[in-house]
Homo-oligomer: A and B are copies of this chain.
């Protein structure tokens, strides 16, 4: 399960995908998401689902579909002082259509800038209150002096659909691993074209491998998309054993894992173990009910074992939710290293099984099976031999290979190899899926 990957190449293709998706104006509904998913279909055969506006999804309702053609603010001379054609961040996402001439004083009530970062355009939305607005750099805002301006937002907000993408890789069992990323942000690269690209290429690279788990990749608008999917697939959530929300994986910050609400789920322990074994700096954070779609997956009625593995978390890099989160902010090599980390997590989840020692009373005679050194005398055992003893001693049906690795202090790969050796000699047998399901 560890073919060597051409990380340079993988980084580049993910980066190219991000560049392809960057210009599209996405939102929680509308053609931006559809175009995005169409691009992704060139990479993986995902299915596109459409859910009609007005559909009740728990406490929420699928909203109207928003589409935008053009938007600008023109001064009296006819110059566009704010132009959607330059950056789709210029329009407050989900703005209602408007065409009016308004005095500067009035206009300013609809303008958003960041005084502390005067060169950057902020990203703002108004999903759940019908309103309109423009975002612009603070320096541009300050240069406005005309008495009145023509404002145009050529958008439509009407019944339509919420669109999301889903891609499922079957496995030997019907236990699932969920990988979820939000596809609602417009021209912002780290948040979250990086997550979209990673999820796509994680799916691609798992495709040729044997898989114990079924993998479900969701490309959904944030919040309302996760709520919609959960509402429409409530029964199916019982099969989700582990999950990760992918976002902000293209910057150069160290990895950050936000635990699931359970706090000690297998996904939490595996990700922490993989990060620790990487030798690189990393951060582990407890669950909080604020963040990305883990908020929904970890709501108390679901309480799924879903964490979020990012690099620098949302809100903690200065480029966050501004026009500076552009293609220059993410790097192919960071994307590639993030993909490799996700792959290591999946590999460890696949390998982290519970076994039963078939010969639990006293040690089995490893020597007669040729598994052991011959001329002995209680000399210092090598790691491999110690690993055999640890796996035999602890495989009582309650401890997984990760538990054994942590208890023994040996590397997971050494423990795993010992388990495979013992399995091949009939000294171990996997707990059958029914039993492991009931944990």
Q: Using a CB–CB distance below 8 Å, which chain A residues touch chain B? A: 57-60, 92-93, 112, 122-129, 131, 133, 223, 226-227, 230-231, 234, 261, 288-290, 295-296, 298-303, 314-315, 321, 357, 359-365, 367-368, 374-381, 386, 389-390, 392-396, 408
Contact = CB atoms under 8 A, between A and B. Distances in A.
Contacts of A360: 299-301
A390 B124 CA distance: 24
Nearest to A399: B300
The 3 A-B residue pairs with the shortest CB-CB distance in the complex, in nearest-first order: A301-B360, A301-B361, A289-B393
Contact of A377 (B123, B299, B390, B396): B123
A125 B375 contact: yes
Most B CB contacts (10 A, CB to CB) among A361, A367, A368 go to: A361
A365 B301 contact: no
Given A133-B375, A289-B390, A389-B295, A362 B231 contact: yes
Q: Majority SS of interface residues in chain A?
A: loop
Contact of A128 (B374, B378, B393): B374
18 contacts: A58-B361, A60-B365, A122-B377, A124-B375, A124-B376, A124-B377, A128-B367, A128-B374, A230-B362, A231-B362, A261-B393, A290-B389, A296-B362, A298-B393, A299-B362, A300-B392, A301-B357, A315-B380
Most B CB contacts (10 A, CB to CB) among A296, A378, A408 go to: A378
Identical chains bound together, number = 3
A290 B381 contact: yes
Contact of A374 (B58, B126, B359): B126
Nearest to A129: B374
Contacts of A295: 363, 389, 393
A58 B359 contact: yes
A125 B59 CA distance: 69
Given A289-B390, A376-B127, A59 B231 contact: no
B362 A59 contact: yes
Contacts of A314: 378
Contact of A361 (B112, B230, B395): B230
A378 B59 contact: no
Nearest to A389: B289
A116 to B, nearest CB: 13
Nearest to A227: B362
Contact of A296 (B223, B290, B363): B363
